[in-house]
């Protein structure tokens, strides 16, 4: 998979993607990530890419021209899935990440300031929101999307690490996990996990997933029950 990120703040993205699992996936050439500073496509001699909003109001608005020019500089942009990070977008879910993980090429636009000129929307396929809150910039959201998508690409996670039972992947939250020590300050690991009885462990985990989801996320639980 190839991901191109359009941003005014490449340094909010570059150091992060070099680390951990995304970094390893890049190193092993399972993914390619290019970060494009759309200020390089400014037509203004001071390299400005924002301006005052027509009609007045607070803050600055990103201009359409540098963004579209930067987009068109990307090889194969016509066939890529083109996303805008915005709090006004479609809520981002695990199922969205699963859908995105199947594409070959994604382009992600990060907004800043008051957002972008409305006409930018015509050049992108989908608007994505990572939650009902407002961030200072789309870079945080783009990192969330990239991380959650890249870990689903076959071969990116270690063989032993399974995402099939992760929270949300089957519409439920994950069961409780424990590791050594067996007892910590009087808090014990459930006996069944020490039993070596695979079927009993499976049954315990399944019931914990249901119970936990019902208690913490009734919305998910109801949806799961209706399936
Ligand atoms: N004025 C805009 C509005 O009310 O819709 C918010 C602009 S916000 C301060 C600046 C940028 O951060 C946005 O253009 C977007 O790229 C990003 N952003 C903020 N909140 C976001 C969210 N919940 N999901 C995705 N991107 C977000």
Among protein residues, the one with the nearest Cα to ligand 1's atom 21 is 87
Give the span between the Cα atoms of 193 and 205, in whole angstroms.
9
Alpha helical stretches, state H, the chain = 14-17, 20-27, 64-72, 94-100, 138-150, 198-216, 218-226
Q: Would the pLDDT of 160 be above 70?
A: no
Cβ of 67 below 6 Å from ligand 1: no
Q: Would the pLDDT of 75 be above 90?
A: yes
> Do residues 212 and 206 lie in contact, with contact meaning Cβ atoms separated by under 8 Å?
no
**Closest-CA residue to 76 (of 148, 22, 153, 3):** 3
81-91 and 126-129: which strand pairing? parallel
Please give the pLDDT value at position 169.
Answer: 86
At 190-200, the pLDDT tens digits run 999 999 999 99
Q: Would the pLDDT of 13 be above 80?
A: yes
> Which CATH number is 61's domain given?
3.40.1280.10
140 and 59 in one domain?
yes
109 and 55 in one domain?
yes
Q: Pick from 150, 172, 200: which residue ends a domain?
A: 150
173 and 63 in one domain?
no
Please give the pLDDT value at position 164.
Answer: 75
Please give the pLDDT value at position 161.
Answer: 66
Q: Which whole number is the average pLDDT over 51-56?
A: 97
51 and 115 in one domain?
yes
pLDDT band at 145 (very low <50, low <70, confident <90, very high): very high
Specify the ligand 1 atom closest to the Cα of 115. Answer: 14
Q: Which residues contact 86 (CB under 8 A, 6 or more apart)?
A: 111, 115, 127, 128, 129, 138
Phi, psi (rounded to 5 degrees) for 164:
-60, -30
Among protein residues, the one with the nearest Cα to ligand 1's atom 19 is 135
Cβ of 7 below 6 Å from ligand 1: no
pLDDT band at 109 (very low <50, low <70, confident <90, very high): very high
For residue 50, the enclosing domain spans 2-150
Q: Which whole number is the average pLDDT over 92-121?
A: 97
Residue 211 Cα to ligand 1 midpoint, Å, equals: 35
Q: Which whole number is the average pLDDT over 75-83?
A: 98
Specify the ligand 1 atom closest to the Cα of 109. Answer: 16
Catalytic residue among 65, 114, 117, 170: 114
In a domain, 158, yes or no: no
193 and 139 in one domain?
no
Q: How many structural domains comprise the chain?
A: 2
Question: What is the average pLDDT value for the chain, to the nearest integer?
Answer: 96
Least confident of 26-40, 66-80, 128-142, 149-163: 149-163
Catalytic residue among 39, 87, 147, 205: 87
In a domain, 159, yes or no: no
Mark whether 151 is an active-site residue: yes
Sign of the CA dihedral running 148, 152, 155, 157: positive
Q: Pick from 98, 127, 150: which residue ends a domain?
A: 150
Q: Which residues contact 227 (CB under 8 A, 6 or more apart)?
A: 171
Q: Would the pLDDT of 16 be above 80?
A: yes
First to last CA, the chain: 32
132 and 93 in one domain?
yes
Residue 19 Cα to ligand 1 midpoint, Å, equals: 25
pTM: 0.95
In a domain, 157, yes or no: no
């Amino acid at each position: 998979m190839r991901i191109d990120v359009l941003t005014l703040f490449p340094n909010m993205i570059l150091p992060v993607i070099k680390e951990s699992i995304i970094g390893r996936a890049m190193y092993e050439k399972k993914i390619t990530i290019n970060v494009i500073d759309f200020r390089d496509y400014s037509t203004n001699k001071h390299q400005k890419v924002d301006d005052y909003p027509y009609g007045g109001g607070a803050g600055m608005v990103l201009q359409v021209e540098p963004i579209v020019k930067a987009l068109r500089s990307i090889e194969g942009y016509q066939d890529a899935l083109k996303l805008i990070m915005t709090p006004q977008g479609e809520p981002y879910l695990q199922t969205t990440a699963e859908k995105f993980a199947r594409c070959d090429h994604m382009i992600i636009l990060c907004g800043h300031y008051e957002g972008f000129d409305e006409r930018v929307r015509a050049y992108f396929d989908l608007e994505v929101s990572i939650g009902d809150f407002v961030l200072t910039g789309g870079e945080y959201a783009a990192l969330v999307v990239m991380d959650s998508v890249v870990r689903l690409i076959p071969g990116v996670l270690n063989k032993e690490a399974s995402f099939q039972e992760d929270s949300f992947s089957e519409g439920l939250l994950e069961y409780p996990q424990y590791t050594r020590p067996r007892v910590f300050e009087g808090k014990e690991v459930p006996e069944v996990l020490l039993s070596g009885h695979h079927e009993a462990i499976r049954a315990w985990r399944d019931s914990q997933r249901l119970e936990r989801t019902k208690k913490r996320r009734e919305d998910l639980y109801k949806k799961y029950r209706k399936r």
